[in-house]
Amino acid sequence: MLKLIMGLKGSGKTKQFIELVNASLKEESGNIVCIEKGKRLTYDIPHAVRLVETEDYGISSFDFLKGFISGLRAGNYDITHIYIDSVLSLIGEKIGPGAEDFFDWCENFGKREGVRFTMMVSADISEATDKIRRYL
């Protein structure tokens, strides 16, 4: 239920991310949400995908993001896929136990709620712990 796209700047993550969003739009019958910081994907993501800009909501921690995702789902049971652009940059975190716990939470939430997650992580793949590697 969780897929991570991980790599350094310039490694092609954004292109792959956009391609996956477009493929989901064609293949899935539910609603798709894309969470981003800033408005850099505005012209790359189709208008049928709900694009949420986090600066409007002050998301600043993994716990806040969990609550935000839970609220999105509570308000719309038709959401089948949530994309998060640069999840660590979004809240100013680095790879570590907090990220591991958040990814595990998303995996479990996704299984329970029938929601798939795809997230972009701007970090060297060599930084990924074994716990994180299972989502690559």
User: pLDDT per residue over 17-50, tens digit each?
Assistant: 999 999 999 999 999 999 998 888 998 999 999 9
CATH class of 2-133: alpha beta
Query: With 90 as the cut, is the pLDDT of residue 56 above it?
Result: no
Over the chain, what is the mean pLDDT?
A: 95
Query: What's the whole-number mean pLDDT along residues 50-64?
Result: 92
Q: Give the per-residue pLDDT at 19.
A: 97
CA–CA distance from 17 to each of 11, 44, 61, 70, 114 (Å)?
A: 12, 10, 22, 22, 20
